[in-house]
Structure formats: C-alpha cells, structure tokens
Amino acid sequence: MIDTSKVKLAADIGGASGTLVHRLMRANPNLHGIVVDLPEVVRSAETAARELGLSNRSAAFPSNFFEYVPAADLYLLKHILHDWSDNEALAILKRCRESIQPGGRLVVIERLLGEMGEPALGPLMDLHMMVNFTGRERTLDEFRALIEKAGFHFSKVTRIRPPLAVIEATANEHE
C-alpha cells in the first residue's frame, strides 16, 4: 500500500509502539525507521523493535511533535491529525515540512468524512473528537488544504477500508 522502495528513513510521527513503521520495515529490509512520540511512550517502540528483530534499523526518538521532528525521507501520520484542531494539525505538518529530506514524502492515514447524509461512522467520530479533544474528522478537501498550506503538494489518495484513506504528498520544491 505504501511504497517504500526508494525510502531510506521513515519517521512514524506519534507512532506509539511503532506498529506501522515496523510493518513497513519488515516488508522492506533496506528501510530504517524512527518512532517519534513522547518520552513515556517511545519505550514501547524500543521494546517492539527488539522483539521483532529490528533494533539495528530502528530508533525511538522522544519528542513533542509540535516542537521538533527529526529529518526523514518519509513521514507517517496515522490517526494523528484528527486529534487536533486545524491550527494544531498545521503546526505538526509544518514541523514535518521543515525537517523533510529533499524529495521526501508525507503519508497521512485518516478517516475521511463524506458528503452530508452519507451513511458512515465518520460523523459520529467527528462528534466524539469535538467533544473529547480539540480535533475533528475532515473531508479529503480539508486534509488537502491543510497539507498544501504546510508546504506540501498533494499527490494522491488511496481508499483502504472505507472510510479510511492513505493521503500522500510531496514536499514543494520552492519552499
């Protein structure tokens, strides 16, 4: 689903135990991975990498992703942006844009809201996010606008299990 054939280093932003990046690393033996999360969370990523035999290609990087993310060729954000308001999500995306390697990519995996009246779980999750957090579910156009405002160029979207989608973008060259 996510092509890592030309990627040397992938950073799983807010990656907790690193499930996504570790899965990609197991599929691509040349890929190195970093799990970026709060200090009390990244310990689980170190343990998981060790148990999977990936310690030699994996690192856990304790950081607040609003402040700093390490350099990488590919940034993975799975179920991260929906936790945050537009301004907060934009700040996370801008940290990624500031640190991305030339030719790098951004992959966002999120639930997409559909059109009004469309039967789906999205609107209920949107209500949940608004009541319990500062975030919200978004339409593809809303994700695209945030991604482009952060200095990325939207490249494609692949729907996986509806309403989940993989949204891909590249770093704008002129930024």
- Give the residue numbers marked as catalytic: 82
Mark 1-20 as b/e (b = at least 16 C-beta within 10 Å). ebebeebebbbbbbbbbbbb
Residue type, 12: D
Spatial separation of the C-alpha atoms in residues 144 and 50, rounded to whole Å: 36
Taking the alpha carbons at both ends of the chain, their separation in whole angstroms is 28
DSSP E strands in 72-163: the ranges are 72-78, 100-111, 152-159
Query: SS3 for 60-92, per residue?
Result: EEECCCCCCCCCEEEEEEECCHHHCCHHHHHHH
Bridge partner list, 158:
166
